Amino acid sequence: MPGFEFFGAEERKQVHDVLETGVLMRYGFDGMRNNHWKAKEFEKAFAERIGSDYCQLVSSGTAALTVALASAGIGAGDEVIMPTFTFVASFESILALGAVPILVDIDDTLTLDPQAVEAAITPKTKCVMPVHMCGSMADLRALNSICKKHNLILLEDACQALGGTYEGKPLGSYGDLGCFSFDYVKTITCGEGGAVITNNEKYALHADHYQDHGHDHIGKDRGAETHPFLGYNFRISELNAAVGIAQLNKLDDILKTQKENYTILRETIETIEGVTFRRVPEGGEENYSFLNFFLPTAELTQKAHKALAKAGVDACFYWFTNNWHYINGWEHLRNLKSLGKLSAEVRSQMQDLNNTDFSKSDAIMGRTISSLIKIGWTPKQVKERAEAMKSAILSTL
Ligand SMILES: *Cc1c(COP(=O)(O)O)cnc(C)c1O
């Protein structure tokens, strides 16, 4: 996920437009801003690129998830189903609203297992949050029909899958709401930033108000605006939004290079007997930001991961023991370690995560290795990496 590899003159020019006027805020100061509205411009361009009616920029991907949930009316005691393999932002955003994260198994797509989702539904369930990890998607057709059947909101976390598609639609645009991150290691970056997309006019209006203290954004005098409901401050700054405009223009080139590099690595290691790949649901196309593969056993996978590091192959991840992305590493969540007291609903409704059976997820994550795909590699470097990966893996099988 290489936005950070690609910072150049275009980004500097965009930021300069903002620095020249000094209007660093996205609202107001109309006379001073020389007609630069970077956040608005990025929102318009991003909505067009993703094919959604509305886009709301915010300060991070975590903020985007929080704003999306709040906009759909999720609050105290509402249950949100999320996967065991994701980023900590999933449960952080849910808990921030007093809602309850319900963790369920993943399958060989490395995303939510639809059967596990259906089994976890209770009368308190309000939302299903698939997370399109490492460039590829959940089985959105199956999840959508579960959501329709039980009248639940489908919220896609597409933070790691910008540019991937499912049934011809850009990821993030299939569900009721979609979220993106533009942090420094995502496919495109603003430094820090995020976006909520939706075709639902009401959710879009809620998101617009909620991320700016509940401001109604009517008229030209911020001080005179009213607050139809409570909000918070999740605004993006004009400087960050400006970077995003330049990055978005590079997205198609980034995706093209990712696919080329991914394909070389994949074609080299798929010749190894015992190596299989993460399942991409039918009708889906990855964004090729990672190459995700399985080895036959957890033991062999750990050996291969060590052999890759020893061979100098960088950026290969073994998520099973990683602190950020898998439930094994979330000791603070499993034991509900918070600074202050959590709400009564959270304390009474949370699963006992230390004693919940996630053996199905373990069986998959224990055998998964993901190689980051960089766009800065030269063709020679990609070929060398492919061969180094192949011999490191072969040496352990
Ligand atoms: C990066 C990421 C987020 C959060 O994004 P930030 O902008 O870093 O807050 C959420 N979900 C997933 C899957 C991510 O990878």
Domain ranges of the chain: 3-250, 252-394
pLDDT given at position 316 = 97
Residue 207 C-alpha from the chain's centroid: 18
Looking at the domain that runs over 252-394, which CATH code has it been given?
Answer: 3.90.1150.10
pLDDT score at 331: 96
φ, ψ of residue 19 in degrees (nearest 5) = -65, -30
| Predicted local distance difference test score (pLDDT) of residue 1 | 58
Task: State which ligand 1 atom lies nearest to the alpha carbon of 89.
Answer: 10
Q: Which residues does ligand 1 sit against, CB inside 6 Å?
A: 60-62, 86-87, 89, 131, 157, 159-160, 181, 183, 194
Q: What sign for the dihedral angle of Cα 67, 68, 70, 71?
A: positive
- Longest pairwise C-alpha distance within the chain: 69
Give residue 131 CA to ligand 1 midpoint distance, Å.
10
Cα-to-centroid distance, 178 and ligand 1 (Å) = 12
* Per-residue pLDDT, 246: 97
**Closest-lying ligand 1 atom to the alpha carbon of residue 65:** 10
CA–CA dist 262, 242 (Å, integer): 29
Q: What are the residues whose beta carbons fall under 8 Å from the beta carbon of 328, sequence distance 6 or more?
A: 320, 321, 365
Task: Please give the number of the atom of ligand 1 that sits closest to the Cα of 63.
Answer: 9
- Testing ligand 1's pocket by substitution, the residue of 4, 59, 62, 136 carrying the most ligand atoms inside 8 A of its CB is 62
pTM: 0.97
Nearest CA owner, ligand 1 atom 5: 61
DSSP 3-state assignment of 62? helix
Instruction: Compute CA 143 distance to the chain's CA centroid, rounded to the nearest angstrom.
Output: 17
* pLDDT tens, residue order, the chain (397 aa): 567 788 899 999 999 999 999 999 999 999 999 999 999 999 999 999 999 999 999 999 999 999 999 999 999 999 999 999 999 999 999 999 999 999 999 999 999 999 999 999 999 999 999 999 999 999 999 999 999 999 999 999 999 999 999 999 999 999 999 999 999 999 999 999 999 999 999 999 999 999 999 999 999 889 899 999 999 999 999 999 999 999 999 999 999 999 999 999 999 999 999 999 999 999 999 999 999 999 999 999 999 999 999 999 999 999 999 878 999 999 999 999 999 999 999 999 999 999 999 999 999 999 999 999 999 999 999 999 999 999 999 999 8
> Which residues lie below 8 Å from residue 279, measured CB to CB, with a gap of 6+?
107, 108, 109
Whether 36 contacts 23, CB under 8 Å: yes
Instruction: Point out the catalytic residue in the list 13, 148, 149, 186.
Output: 186
> Does 186 qualify as catalytic in the annotation?
yes
Q: Edge to edge, what strands does the sheet with 284-285 contain?
A: 169-170, 165-166, 284-285
Fold of 3-250: Aspartate Aminotransferase; domain 2 (3.40.640)
Write down the pLDDT at residue 4. Answer: 77
